[in-house]
Amino acid sequence: MRLKRFLIKLSLNFFFLVIFCEFIFYYLVIRQCSWPEDFPQTSDNEGSSGSSLKVLLFADPHLLGPYRGHWFDKLRREWQMRRSFQSAINLFHPEAVFILGDLFDEGKWVTSSEFNDYVKRFHEIFAVPTGTQLYGVVGNHDIGFHYQAHPKLVKRFEEEFHTTGVSLITLKDINFILINSIAMEGDGCSLCAQAEMELRNISQIFKCARNVGNCKDTPTLRSYSKPILLQHYPLY
């Protein structure tokens, strides 16, 4: 009888320990964060239009692929990332999520079918509710460093994450520019040339929003605001 009570008590303690460590703990830690207080509303030409936007930013999840890392290490990492991310989503309800590069650890090596599996796992771990926008910025582990970035690797990432060398995203009149850092080598290659052309086009859009230059046939911004630059590589 004593042994039975001991085993029941041990099992219950183990069960509550697992629930606490694998579920409750994430909420207790993450809830210590909070959104900043609203900034004063602005209406000048250099500032925002007065709207606010809740954005979650992070980088380098480095999901392991088929070649590196032990299966248990992969399982454990992805479980922890899933719980951390979903806890943050449930607590803070961001309107947009930006993941700033190196979504995958082995994106530059995997085959097309392996990449498809990668993308499926990514969306399972970093699932967002309806109404929350998810954006992925390319990193060197996703397509390789500049001289490793084969057009096929670039194309499949851009197609899956609906991005280009330089992309303009506008959310609630707040403008974000997403840049492929690998395309900023400036050596005149096709990848760089395309990104530089897109950057010039976006620059022209912002100039026209301030009534500068010849703006015929140039797309217009509904509201001008200083852009927020997002990329994988640090700017220094």
The neighbouring-strand residues paired with 171 are 174
pLDDT given for residue 1 in this prediction? 73
Residue with tokens 């980088």: 59
Q: Are the beta carbons of 202 and 218 closer than 8 angstroms?
A: no
The residue assigned the tokens 């010849």 is 214
Q: Residue 12's pLDDT is what?
A: 86
Cα 162–chain centre separation: 12
Cα-atom radius of gyration of the chain, to the nearest Å? Answer: 22
Q: What is the mean pLDDT of each run of 10 residues along the chain (236 residues)?
A: 79 85 87 78 52 92 91 91 95 96 96 95 96 96 93 96 95 95 92 95 92 83 90 86
Strand partners of residue 97 = 56, 134
Q: Kindly list the domain boundaries of the chain, sorted by start residue.
A: 50-231
What confidence score (pLDDT) does residue 210 get?
A: 87
In this prediction the pTM is 0.87
The number of residues in the chain equals 236
User: 50-231: which CATH topology?
Assistant: Purple Acid Phosphatase; chain A, domain 2 (3.60.21)
d(CA 125, CA 63): 10
